[in-house]
Amino acid sequence: MSRLPDRSLLTRCEIFVYFGVYIAYIVVGLYKIYGLRDHIAKEAKFQFPDGWSVFPFSQRRRDDSNDELENFGDFISRFWPFYLLHAAIQGIIRWKTPRLQCHAFAAVCAFALGINLDWTSIVILGWLIASYYLVSLATSKLLVWFLSAGWILCINVIQKNVWWTNRVGYTEYVLVIVTMSWSVLRGCSYSLSKMKAKKEDLGRYNLVQYLGYAMYFPCLTYGPIISYQRFVARSVDEQEDWLAFAKGVIRSAIWWLVMQCALHYFYIHYMSRDVRMVEMMDSVFWQHSAGYFMGQFFFLYYVVTYGLGIAFALQDGIPAPSRPRCIGRIHFYSDMWKYFDEGLYEFLFQNIYAEMCGKRSSSAAKFGATALTFAFVFVWHGCYTYVLIWSILNFLCLAAEKLFKTLTLIPQYQQWTQHYLGAVGAQRLYAMLATQLFIPAAFSNVYFIGGQEIGDFLMRGAYLSGVGNYMALCFCSYCFFQCSELLLTKSDTRSKIKTY
């Protein structure tokens, strides 16, 4: 039977070199970013706020240029009592009257939004949530997608409405826009799932269940997206594990604290906004490390936000998606989609890709389904040029990866590599070729994280800075790839998530 090269054949010495290069590049790259801290603070287009009053942070300024992180902090400072209220009420409900769980979900959310939002915001969110329940009664998938297109258009119009933005303020503006975006996915998931359901299961799709799902407060604004299938599969009879819940919340709090402390010394968020700061690094080779840490800080943000929502969902008996996987352990871009945002991947796969093709479909059908999937990703994230570039690069990298894996599984290729290179040589060649896919896939993320200017800059640095630079980049990327392969666990290979 055809199989991929066995990474376990590598020698200990070789493995030591791979991890040595990986760790050395990360440490030196982080040190070089640290060394630019005072230059960045001096040259920045706006002044950073004073650091925390606790020594030694009081002597530093804190990088506050990541709007998403700052908005999340504002959200928590405003809504933290409702997280506590949700946990307390659910503890009582599941102990006394589990059948009222969804009533409580919706009630806490309505209370939290009702006393904090302007009436215009409440009307917008209320109409969005109600519209998907109404359209689900029509049992037309096409109507669901037309409604979704309408709401996505509405989101883009609202974003440009100066009157409404001035009325509610920037903080509420962000909260409503983000909540609407997630609510579109939740509405689609409910409506499309209901249309696929058998007659005997339609009782699980009543109004109360829908409101509990659409108004689940811990995941309402900062995710992750939990499919309706997962939501209705929750177990209200399962004993609550308050220790595991506390660990999940504390884990998110600790990573938030780590990130905030780091932003007193590593101004990586500002570097992602101002390409001049990246240009200040020693060489093009070390500028690549800035892209790596942009990705790592981006990952930490989702560890915090998704981790909080996942902790509450698990405590409420909902089989939530897994927490994001560290990007340092991802070497194929298909894994980035499957394991970084598992909930979004499931939504895209179940409701778009799988609707257009199956396992036995032609390559053309799968190609078209993938293209349509990324078209939706582009529109949902916002119709910006940098999102379009990121979406196209994602699509091309996934298509190239699929072609690469297909070719390496051809018996003639495997026979040739085994005969001329041996098992170890075949594994090395596999990693060398895959590295050429890994490099553009990794840099494509920078477009989404930092925008077009910084994405173009780092991409040019990778491919237009001479053969020597590219060879050095390939060697380091090859080591990263091998390390990621070696860090794969058996649980990863037994993942229940379907793949493209």
pLDDT per 10-residue tile (average), the chain, 500 residues: 57 90 94 93 89 82 92 95 96 90 96 95 96 92 95 92 92 95 96 88 90 96 94 81 93 96 94 92 92 94 96 94 89 86 93 88 87 93 91 92 90 87 88 92 91 94 93 94 77 42
Residue 4 is predicted with a pLDDT of 54
DSSP 332: S
Domain count, the chain: 2
Cβ atoms of residues 400 and 461 within 8 Å: no
Interatomic CA distance for residues 382 and 432, integer angstroms:
35
**In this structure, are 43 and 100 located in the same domain?**
no
**In this structure, are 439 and 320 located in the same domain?**
yes
The phi-psi region of residue 16 (left if phi > 0; otherwise alpha if psi is between -120 and 50; otherwise beta) is: alpha
Residue 422 within any structural domain of the chain? yes
For residue 410 the two structure tokens come to 């051809």
Start-end of H helices in 284-341: 284-315, 333-339
Residue 35 within any structural domain of the chain? yes
Residue 491 is predicted with a pLDDT of 42
The residue out of 237, 254, 277 marking a domain boundary is: 237
Residue 7 is predicted with a pLDDT of 58
Residues designated as active site: 381
Residue 222 within any structural domain of the chain? yes
Residue 258 within any structural domain of the chain? yes
Interatomic CA distance for residues 384 and 361, integer angstroms:
32
For residue 491 the two structure tokens come to 């649980």
Interatomic CA distance for residues 83 and 129, integer angstroms:
21
Packing angle, helices 141-159 and 363-381, rounded to 10 = 40
Closest by CA to 403, choosing from 425, 376, 370, is 370
**In this structure, are 32 and 151 located in the same domain?**
no
**In this structure, are 383 and 443 located in the same domain?**
yes
Residue 2 within any structural domain of the chain? no
Residue 423 is predicted with a pLDDT of 85
**In this structure, are 197 and 295 located in the same domain?**
no
Residue 497 is predicted with a pLDDT of 42
**In this structure, are 193 and 342 located in the same domain?**
no
**In this structure, are 406 and 279 located in the same domain?**
yes
**In this structure, are 148 and 32 located in the same domain?**
no
Single-letter amino acid code for the residue at 31:
Y
Give the N- to C-terminal CA distance of the chain in Å, as an integer: 21
Cβ atoms of residues 256 and 121 within 8 Å: no
The residue out of 237, 258, 290 marking a domain boundary is: 237
For residue 83 the two structure tokens come to 């997280």
Residue 500 within any structural domain of the chain? no
Residue 498 within any structural domain of the chain? no
Cβ atoms of residues 266 and 29 within 8 Å: no
Single-letter amino acid code for the residue at 7:
R
Cβ atoms of residues 299 and 324 within 8 Å: yes
Question: Could you list the residue range(s) of the whole structural domain that residue 215 is in?
Answer: 67-237
Residue 8 is predicted with a pLDDT of 60
Start-end of H helices in 99-206: 101-114, 119-136, 141-159, 162-168, 170-196
Chain length of the chain: 500
**In this structure, are 298 and 445 located in the same domain?**
yes
Among all chains, which residue has been given the structure tokens 């919706």?
106
For residue 320 the two structure tokens come to 């939530």
Q: Collect all residues with Cβ–Cβ distance below 8 Å to 247 and sequence separation of at least 6.
A: 311
The residue out of 204, 237, 270 marking a domain boundary is: 237
Residue 489 is predicted with a pLDDT of 47
What are the two backbone dihedrals, phi and then psi, of residue 50, each rounded to the nearest 5 degrees? -60, 150
**In this structure, are 13 and 38 located in the same domain?**
yes
**In this structure, are 183 and 215 located in the same domain?**
yes
Q: Collect all residues with Cβ–Cβ distance below 8 Å to 214 and sequence separation of at least 6.
A: 129, 132, 133, 183, 186, 187, 190
Cβ atoms of residues 184 and 152 within 8 Å: yes
Residue 455 is predicted with a pLDDT of 94
Residue 163 within any structural domain of the chain? yes
Cβ atoms of residues 109 and 220 within 8 Å: yes
Q: What is the pTM of this model?
A: 0.92
**In this structure, are 312 and 206 located in the same domain?**
no
Q: Residue 61 pairs with which residues in a beta bridge?
A: 50
